[in-house]
Structure 1
Amino acid sequence: MMSVTPIPALSDNYIWLLRQDTSQSVCVVDPGEAAPVIELLERESLTLDTIIITHHHHDHTGGLSELVKRYSPRVVGPANTAIEGINEPVEHGDEVRIMGRLFSVIATPGHTLDHVSYFTPGIPPLLFCGDTMFCGGCGRLFEGTPEQMQVSLQTLAELPEDTLVFAAHEYTQANLIFARAADPDNEDVRYALQECEKARALNRPTLPSTIGRELKINPYLRVGTNSVRQAVGNQGANDNDLATFTTLREWKNRF
């Protein structure tokens, strides 16, 4: 059984630590800074075997060079990037074995052009999606197009509904407040926001989510519904799903 532990980093990042059963060898995903990873490894006498990178932004790679220098791990990351330290470049369709489980690499451009996500169909299925899909939201479009991001999200949404979704940021509360405006008829959003507020009041993570849950509460996956389309119509074009998605993402930028 693989366990996944959040390591809080920076202001709102999670570095995910993967561990198979009681093995002392571990993997971390998107180390935005090194210090919290080193502290946990030393405290629990763990060995950093692998680092997974989803994209090049500094809050996902800022700790990479120090961790590589200190531990010399295997570093898996996107092939079409300028990230220094990757020694196992991967691209869409590749498969990599990490902590005993086989992960599929899925190209998910939109937030950045080099963005990839990692999915393993074990029990339970796990998805590490960086800044592509958040609980109740999606990443800003820094490099890609709305169409690229929509396709990326639709690809992830087709994964099994029980897939655990490990996003890289604690953005859930802000996303659901926006989702309440963007999908005003959705009672699932209201309930999810209540649960999120309870968790955050106790300083607990709101992640992981699941694909099934995101299909119910994430407005970017619901652009074909009357509730979202009507709300978006007050902000801009909503003639089709892509136009609705584009307006929705622009609305969130200024919300």
Structure 2
Amino acid sequence: MPLEIVTVPCLSDNYAFLAHDPDSGDTALVDVPEAGPILSALSDRGWRLTQVLLTHHHADHVQGLEEVLARHDARVVGAAADRHRLPALDTAVAEGDTVKIGAETGHVIDVSGHTVGHIAFHFPDSKAVFTADSLMALGCGRLFEGTAPQMWESLSKLAALPDDTVVYSGHEYTKANGAFAMTIEPDNPDLISRVRDIAEKRAANQPTVPSTLALERSTNPFLRAIVPSVQAGVGLSGADPAEVFAEIRSRKDRF
């Protein structure tokens, strides 16, 4: 059976995720912005937390960990490259390593750019990828530590996953991201439709995360640096996609 995945809103605009294997009863938590909503979600479902998967070291992704571990005896998994600034890890992983939730195998992907050492977790059998602040709904994380070519390489890895992969990203930034995306591709019919859908969901206080990779590829400007019309729109026709991405990221930083 595929993993049962629950989106847990935290803080003002963060998301954590619970991934539950019904056969074994194992449950993994992806990132820990705050403890209260996560503990409530576990209690409401009667799930036991067996492991915590950390994507990167920023406080709004790890700061609830101590309180969660006080209630659940779970193993903590995070990037070996980020071990010096993550909470204490039971298992340190790098790209190419795997993690297990019940019988399902997840693959670790290095998606450095937002931070150096940021990782994503891809579970192909459940068609799910947990991307936190790398690939986001209609956006990508600001480049606090990495370079534009580094982030473009990371996004390209994620873009190579199957179309029906569901993208579980770390923040409810989609409405603002959509407003920016419209400045890059104002005539993109898929984007126009998505922005309308986002407005309806947010008006009803519904999350816009997760999304699908197919939707991101057709609307997210940060994945579309290879598209000739996008290149032309930012005055960089025929340029290296990493250069086009850098221009789009720079424009978003100033937006």
Task: Calculate the TM-score normalised by the size of structure 1.
Answer: 0.93
Q: Does 1:108 align with 2:149?
A: no
Q: Is the 8 A contact 2:26 2:48 kept in 1?
A: yes
**Residues paired across the two proteins, number:** 252
Q: Which residue of 1 aligns with 2:66?
A: 65
Query: Is there any run of 5+ residues in structure 2 with no aligned partner, and where?
Result: none
Distance 1:57 1:17 in 2: 19
Corresponding letter in the other structure for 2:200: K
Distance 2:139 2:70 in 1: 35
Q: Is the 8 A contact 1:238 1:244 kept in 2?
A: no
Q: Which residue of 2 aligns with 1:225?
A: 227
Q: Is the 8 A contact 1:185 1:227 kept in 2?
A: no
Q: Which residue of 2 aligns with 1:152?
A: 154
Q: Which residue of 2 aligns with 1:74?
A: 75
Q: Does 1:12 align with 2:9?
A: no
Cα displacement string for residues 3-52 of structure 1 (whole angstroms, at most 9, x for unaligned residues): 11111101101110111227654211111111111222233332111111
Corresponding letter in the other structure for 1:247: E
**Aligned-residue RMSD, C-alpha:** 1.7
Distance 1:72 1:247 in 2: 45
Q: Does 1:30 align with 2:28?
A: no
Q: Is the 8 A contact 2:4 2:20 kept in 1?
A: yes
Q: Which residue of 1 aligns with 2:86?
A: 83
Q: Which residue of 1 aligns with 2:3?
A: 2
> How does 1:149-228 map onto structure 2 within 5 Å?
149-228=151-230
Classify the secondary structure of the residue corresponding to 2:49.
strand
Query: Is there any run of 5+ residues in structure 1 with no aligned partner, and where?
Result: none
Distance 2:45 2:205 in 1: 23
Q: Which residue of 1 aligns with 2:131?
A: 129
Q: Which residue of 2 aligns with 1:138?
A: 140
User: 1:72: Cα distance to partner?
Assistant: 2.4
Give the share of equivalent positions with the same residue, in percent.
39
Change (3 A) 1:198 1:23: farther
Distance 2:18 2:199 in 1: 25
